[in-house]
Structure 1
Amino acid sequence: MSDPNQKSRTQFNKLQKKLRHTVGDAIADYNMIENGDKIMVCLSGGKDSFTLLDILMHLQQTAPVEFELIAVNLDQKQPGFPEHVLPEYLASLGVPYHIIERDTYSVVKRVIPEGSTTCGLCSRLRRGTLYGYAEANNVTKIALGHHRDDILETFFLNIFYGGKLKAMPPKLLSDDKKNIIIRPLAYTREKDIERLAAFKNYPIIPCNLCGSQENLQRQAMKVMLNAWDKQFPGRLETIFASLKNVAPSQLADTQLFDFAGLTRSSQAEEQVMPFIAKDGVYAVNLPGAGSANAGLNILAQ
C-alpha cells in the first residue's frame, strides 16, 4: 500500500516546482527583475500575495542576480482586521517587512453611499499609499499578486463593458511615471495557487472585512471562464496566448496600424506602430520584443 503522506509530498513538490517555473518564465519574458533591484511585495493577506512572496524569496536564493525584497502591507483599519497575523508570519520568515497604518476605511465609508460598491475608491487610495511608500523608500519595482485568471477576467471585462481590447500587463509603468509594477504570477493559474496555499497553510486573512460585495461584473467573468475551462480544456491557455500574439492589421484600430496609407505596393509584412495607452507605453510585436532570451534568465532551479 502506498504511503499517502509520501504521495502528498510528491504532489506538493511537483506543484511548487511548476509554480516556480511559471513565475521564472514571466520574469524572464518581461525582464521584471534586474541586478540591484529593491522589490516591494504588496502583501494583502490573501493566497495570491502569500504565494508571490514565497516564490520570490526562493528565487532570491537561486537567481543569478542579487535583489532585495521587502514585504509591505497596508492596514486600512477595517473593523475586525487581525493586526497581529502578518507581522508574526513575516517575522517567522525572516523577510524585511513594513506595515503601513492608514485609515482609508473611514474615508471610503464617508464618501461612498451605503450599499454601493466601495472597491473602486478603496483600491485608488490603497494604490496611492503604496506608490508613495515605494517612492519614499527607493523601491525600484512593485510586485503585485495578480495571476493569469485576473488578467483574463480584466480582458473580457474591458471587451464586454468598456469596448476596449485591454487587459492587465505583466509589467507596467505607473501613470505618474515614477513606479514600475510587475506581476510575476502573470502566467500562473489561480487553481494552482489555491492548491499551493492549501499545502502551505498560509494564514489567510478574509478579504470581505469591509462588507463590500465583490464586483459583480468581474464575478460574472470568473464564472464564464471557469465554465469554458471545464467544457473546453485548453481554451484559457489559447486565449492567454492570443494576448502575446497581436496582429494589428487584422483589427480596426487606426492608431495601431496605418490602414489609410495602405497601397498595393505596401509591404506584406506586418508593420506595427508603438502606441500610447492610458497606463503607459506599449509595443506590440516589435522585432526582438517579448523574447525570453532578451530578458533576465531567472528560472527556478
Structure 2
Amino acid sequence: MLPQKKRYQTNKLHKRLRRLVGTAIADFNMIEAGDRIMVCLSGGKDSYVLLDILLNLQAHAPMGFELIAVNLDQKQPGFPEKVLPEYLGELGIPFRIVEQDTYSIVKRVVPEGKTTCSLCSRLRRGVLYRVANELGATKIALGHHRDDILETLFLNMFYGGKLKAMPPKLVSDDGRHIVIRPLAYCREKDIAAYAESAAFPIIPCNLCGSQPNLQRQVIKEMLQQWDKRFPGRLETMFRSLQNVQLSHLADTAKFDFNGLKTQDSPYVNGDTAFDEETFDQPIEEMMLSLVEKNGNSG
C-alpha cells in the first residue's frame, strides 16, 4: 500500500499523463472507433506507461477500440522471458510475444565498437509491420515521448542536415500502416516518475543501452542541461514544431521564393528581418559555454 502522499503524487502524475495523451490523440486523430491498436511493449518505462494510459482511456472512451500488446523477444542474452507474459496475463489484455533473433544479426553485421541502433531499429520495424498485418491491426502505437521528438530534431539538424523530427502520427515506410505516438506531449521525467511509482517490471535493453557516447545520448544530456537551467525551454522548443513558418526558412522546394513579388496590401508572411529580435541573455551565455566546452573537449 502506497503512503498517502506518494499515492497522491502518483494519481496526479497519472491524470497529467492521461490528459496529455488524450489531447494528442484528439489533435492528431490517432484513434478512431473500431480501431485495433497494436501496442508495442519493449519492457521499458515508456511502453509500460503507454499501455497503462491507453488501457485507462479505453475503459472510459465514448467509442470502442481494441488493444493488443506485442513484445519482440530479440533473443538478447539474459532476457527475462517470463516477465512480460506474466505481467500481461495479470492485466488480462490480449498479447503476443514474437521471438525473432535480431540480436545475433546485429552483433554479426555491426563491427565491434559501432552503434547498433540503426540496424536494430530497421530489423525490429520490419518484424512489427509483419505482425501488424497478421493481427489485422489498424494502428501501431509506439512509446516515443516529447523528449524523444526533440532529440530527433536536434540529431537531424546536427548530424543529418535536416529540419526533421519524429511526428506524432505517420504512415509506415511500406504505406500499409498508421503509426501513432500517443505520448508525444508527455515529458520523459513525468513518465519515469510514474513508472517508478507504479513499479512496472522494467526490462533493460542490453543491446544498445550500454553503448557509450551515442549521439542521441549526447543530445539528451544537452537538452537535460537546458531544462535544468531554463525551466520551460523544452516546452517552448516543442511548440515551435507546431508553429512552422516556411517563408522564414530556406527550403526552395517547400516555399516559392522565386515567385515572391511585391503587392499593395500587407503580406501575411512578410519579413521581419529589420525588426529587433530579443533573446534572453542567459541563453546566449549558455550557448557560448557549450561551444567553449565542446572546443576544449575536442
In the alignment, is residue 269 of structure 1 matched against residue 268 of structure 2? yes
**Pairing 1:228–2:234 present:** no
Secondary structure at the counterpart of residue 41 of structure 1: strand
Task: Give the equivalent residue in structure 2 for 1:139.
Answer: 137
Q: Does 1:125 align with 2:123?
A: yes
| Alignment match, 2:85 | 87
Q: Which of the pair is proportionally richer in helix?
A: 2
Query: Counterparts of 1:151 and 1:211 in 2: how far apart (Å)?
Result: 18
Question: What residue number does 1:75 align with?
Answer: 73
Q: Secondary structure at the match of 1:106?
A: helix
Counterpart in the other structure of 2:64? 66
Shift of residue 113 of structure 1? 1.6
Q: How does 1:128-207 map to 2 (within 5 A)?
A: 128-207=126-205
Query: Residue 36 of structure 2 contacts residue 66 of structure 2 at CA under 8 Å; is this kept in 1?
Result: yes
Q: Contact 1:147–1:186 at 8 Å: present in 2 too?
A: yes
| More divergent stretch after superposition (245-254 vs 5-14) | 5-14
Give 1:254 shift.
1.1
Q: Residues 95-106 of structure 1: matches in 2 within 5 Å?
A: 95-106=93-104
Contact 2:37-2:137 within 8 A present in 1 as well:
yes
RMSD of aligned alpha carbons: 1.6
User: Is contact 2:141-2:180 (8 Å) kept?
Assistant: yes
Instruction: Report the AA paired with residue 198 of structure 1.
Output: E
Secondary structure of the equivalent of 1:205? coil
Q: TM-score, normalised by structure 2?
A: 0.87
Structure 1 residues 19 and 211: alpha-carbon distance in aligned structure 2, compared to 1, 3 A threshold: closer
Note if contact 2:115-2:214 (Cα within 8 Å) is conserved in structure 1: no
Q: CA separation in 2, counterparts of 1:125 and 1:175?
A: 13
CA contact (8 A) 2:117 2:208 kept: no
Q: Identify which range, 248-257 or 178-187, moves more after superposition.
A: 248-257
Q: Secondary structure in 2 aligned to 1:73?
A: strand
Percent identical pairs in the alignment equals: 69
1:156-213 Cα offsets, whole Å, 9 max, x none, are: 1111111111000000101210111000000000000011011100000011256751
User: Distance between the aligned counterparts of 1:262 and 1:209, measured in 2?
Assistant: 51
- Mapped contact 1:79–1:210 kept (Cα < 8 A): no
Question: Secondary structure in 1 aligned to 2:196?
Answer: helix
Is 1:5 equivalent to 2:11 in the alignment? no
Q: Quick one: distance in 2 between partners of 1:210 and 1:120?
A: 10
Unaligned 5+ residue runs, structure 2?
Answer: 271-298
The structure whose Rg is larger is 2
Higher relative contact order (CA 8 A, sep 6+): 1
Does the CA contact (< 8 Å) of 1:117 and 1:212 recur in 2? no
What is the rounded CA distance, in whole Å, between the counterparts of 1:265 and 1:97 in structure 2? 61
Alignment length (residue pairs): 268
Alpha-carbon deviation of 1:48? 0.1
Matched, 1:219 2:238: no
The residue type equivalent to 2:233 in the other structure is R
Give structure 1 stretches of 5+ with no counterpart: 272-301
Q: Which runs of 4+ in 1 moved over 2 A?
A: 209-212
- d(CA) in 2 for partners of 1:14, 1:104: 39
